[in-house]
Chains A and B, each alone.
Chain A
Amino acid sequence: MKPNVLAKKIGFYALIVIAWQGLDSADIWPDNIFPSPFEVVEDLAYGVADASLFFGIGTSLLRLVIGLAIAIGGGLVLGIFMARVETVNQTIGSLVLGLQSIPSVAWVPLAILWFGLTDAGIIFVTAVGAIFAVTINTYTGVKNINPSYIEAARNMGAKEGQLVTSILIPAAFPYIISGFKQGWAFAWRGVIGAELLFSFLGLGFLLNVGRQLNDVSQVIAIMLVIMGIGIIAEGLIFKKIEDKVMKRWGLR
């Protein structure tokens, strides 16, 4: 990041904290409804000190990683089949478009009925929330592959299975990576949403505890953590991969 861009960002966030502190000092609302930034930081420090925060992050991330892995694996297979077999696209493809419009928390009741109040239920909600984004992006990516890549590979003797791993996935990778990125975003929302509704442990659960204890500063603290993890994943991890892929594929 260029120094002047960084300076602008730091300035902006500093302004928010100052304005926040100013509003708190004005004593418009009682402290249990509108905490000061220091109370939120204090809450975060407690969470760090007794490790409950790390435990919550770890639990949520583990569920997310398992759910997302299932979504990525399933979405790749489904997307490639849809792109390569017209009948699959005409049948399952239309269903995928419909299913994608269901918000992931809408799967929660079904998850509870099928899996009970278990980790499996949360992972189900996470996976099902992310899989269709991966599917659709993979499908689009494979459909948009320069046909001469496929012809050249066939011409050099590639069989269908070799075609999938050596051409289809790498050639469609710029799309697939944005599928992963979207899938991650859906999965992250899904896991927090599901935890909020029916879980013990995890960040969503900690949010709910904050609400039950009327502890607004804990609620805000956890929300900041959720946001922070989102920024790290999207801004650092996915953006780095995406930039590298785009450059190599000659798209940027």
Chain B
Amino acid sequence: MGKLESRNIEKYFKHDGKPLKTLDGIDLNVEDGEFVCIVGPSGCGKSTFLRITAGLEKPDGGEIFLDTKSVDTTGPNRIMVFQEGALFPWLNVRDNVEYGLKIAGIPVEERNKISNRYLDMMQLSQFATSYTYQLSTGMKQRVAIARALVMDPDVLLMDEPFAALDPQTRDLLLVEMQLIWQKTKKTIIFVTHNVSEAVMLGTRVLVFTHRPAKIKKEIKIDYRRPRVAEDENLLPYQQKILAELRPEVKK
């Protein structure tokens, strides 16, 4: 058993009063320090799976195990980075990053010490006293990632965090994300609809089928880092994933 295990996760949604099966038995075993990317057609339930892993939603069947213990509520050992960041506009960057530490009752000097490390890692130090309305979308996502990392979670869950970014900012963050992963050795599950993103980041890419979603294919990506978007050697991986994904998108 790995760091995080999903055993036969099922989920139904109500659609016109009838239950609609969204997740059809997701079995997944994530090893400690893995970077797992999940791609799938839009609306297939990949984000729902991530939310269940975070404990933000209850599955209708199956269980999530963290370090062999069943988890069914949210906890700071599984921290989510949301698509739109979900930063708190009433707090400045530093206070956003320290939010979880403050809630946990950690004294201010220690909080500052921890947040300084991650503000520095995400190149946010000079923006520590800025408010979110003063930040670009890319900067906001950096803050969201820093806010998640200070919690030192066992598993980092990322729900299309770069979907709203312009291509240049995204490419930059995709490289940085790899460096952060190498530096922190975090276990990461990363949901995206962008295949090239998945190939750049993942040690393993899972392709979800159209609803009701199952894991259709698993592709290991054993290639040097940091990977860059324009590297032609990544193309065969992309093609392989797209070949699996295309029929699902058409459904």
- Write the residues of chain A forming the contact surface with B, with a CB cutoff of 8 angstroms: 146, 148-149, 151-158, 162, 166-167, 170-171, 173, 247-250
A135 to B184, CA, bound (A): 46
Instruction: Flag whether B192 is at the interface (Cβ < 8 A).
Output: no
With A248-B133, A250-B133 as contacts: A166 and B99 at CB distance below 8 Å: yes
Are A157 and B86 in touch, CB under 8 angstroms?
Answer: no
With A148-B84, A166-B103 as contacts: A173 and B90 at CB distance below 8 Å: yes
Name A249's contact: one of B75, B80, B89, B104 (CB within 8 Å): B89
Instruction: Flag whether B88 is at the interface (Cβ < 8 A).
Output: yes
Are B103 and A170 in touch, CB under 8 angstroms?
Answer: no
A157 to B131, CA, bound (A): 23
A residues in contact with B82, CB < 8 Å: 148, 151-152
Instruction: Flag whether B25 is at the interface (Cβ < 8 A).
Output: no
- Scan B69-110; emit 1 where CB is below 8 A from any A CB, else 0: 000001110111010101011110000000110111000000
Chain B contributes a number of interface residues (CB within 8 A of A) equal to: 26
With A162-B103, A166-B103, A250-B133 as contacts: A155 and B74 at CB distance below 8 Å: yes
Candidate in B54, B55, B74 with the most chain A CB atoms within 10 angstroms: B74
Name B56's contact: one of A155, A170, A171, A173 (CB within 8 Å): A155
B residues in contact with A170, CB < 8 Å: 88, 90-91
A166 to B80, CA, bound (A): 19
A residues in contact with B99, CB < 8 Å: 153, 156, 166
Inter-chain CB contacts under 8 Å: number: 64
Candidate in A146, A156, A162, A247 with the most chain B CB atoms within 10 angstroms: A156
With A148-B86, A173-B90 as contacts: A248 and B131 at CB distance below 8 Å: yes
B residues in contact with A157, CB < 8 Å: 74-76, 100, 103-104, 151
A171 to B88, CA, bound (A): 8
B residues in contact with A156, CB < 8 Å: 76, 79, 99-100, 103, 147, 151
Contact sample, A vs B, 30 pairs, CB 8 Å cutoff: A148-B82, A151-B74, A151-B86, A152-B80, A153-B99, A153-B103, A154-B56, A154-B74, A155-B74, A156-B76, A156-B99, A156-B103, A156-B147, A157-B74, A157-B75, A157-B100, A157-B104, A162-B103, A166-B99, A166-B102, A167-B88, A170-B88, A170-B90, A170-B91, A171-B88, A171-B90, A248-B133, A249-B89, A249-B133, A250-B89
Candidate in B75, B89, B102, B104 with the most chain A CB atoms within 10 angstroms: B89
Instruction: Flag whether B132 is at the interface (Cβ < 8 A).
Output: yes
The smallest C-beta distance from B249 to any residue of chain A, in angstroms, reads: 26
B residues in contact with A153, CB < 8 Å: 99, 103
A248 to B147, CA, bound (A): 19
A154 to B54, CA, bound (A): 10
- Please give 8 more A-B residue pairs, beta carbons under 8 A apart, in addition to A151-B86, A155-B76, A248-B89: A148-B84, A151-B56, A151-B82, A155-B80, A157-B74, A158-B103, A162-B103, A250-B133
The smallest C-beta distance from A166 to any residue of chain B, in angstroms, reads: 7
Are A249 and B90 in touch, CB under 8 angstroms?
Answer: yes
Are B74 and A247 in touch, CB under 8 angstroms?
Answer: no
A residues in contact with B80, CB < 8 Å: 151-152, 155
Shortest Cβ distance from B73 into A: residue? A154
A151 to B91, CA, bound (A): 17
